[in-house]
Amino acid sequence: MKVAIQFEAQLRQVAGTGNAEIDLPESSNLLAALEQFTSSASNELRDRLFTQEGTLQASVIVFVNDQPVPSQSANVHVLNAGDMILLLPPISGG
């Protein structure tokens, strides 16, 4: 199944692209999709997305089809063909 990944702001720069499409086995979860994409990406992108333990950074904001997905749910959020994953870096400012 194919899913799309959209990177915004600093993550776009680190990923080297704003959009990507990946092919996954059926019933793959969000964490597996991001692991697959980053397996051939820069160390900087992996470091921005994952903790040393391999979980998704809590500071990265993730949406799947415009619905927020908490970082702690990435390993149980099952994707479907055609899903759009949106990754936003931490937002700061005042």
**Tokens, residue 61:** 């904001």
In a domain, 81, yes or no: yes
Which CATH number covers residue 44?
3.10.20.30
In a domain, 15, yes or no: yes
Residues 37-58, buried b or exposed e (16+ Cβ, 10 A)? bbeebeeebbebbbeeeeebbe
- Say what the pLDDT of residue 36 is: 93
pTM for the full model? 0.90
In a domain, 94, yes or no: no
Instruction: Give the domain extent around 25.
Output: 2-88
In a domain, 31, yes or no: yes
- What's the total number of domains in the chain? 1
In a domain, 60, yes or no: yes
In a domain, 73, yes or no: yes
In a domain, 18, yes or no: yes
- Say what the pLDDT of residue 91 is: 72
Cα–Cα distance for residue pair 88/69, rounded to 1 Å? 12
pLDDT tens digits in sequence order for the chain, 94 residues long = 999 999 998 999 999 899 999 999 999 999 999 999 998 888 899 999 999 998 999 999 999 999 999 999 999 999 999 999 999 987 765 5
Cα–Cα distance for residue pair 84/63, rounded to 1 Å? 8
Beta strands in 24-92 (DSSP E): 61-64, 67-68, 84-88
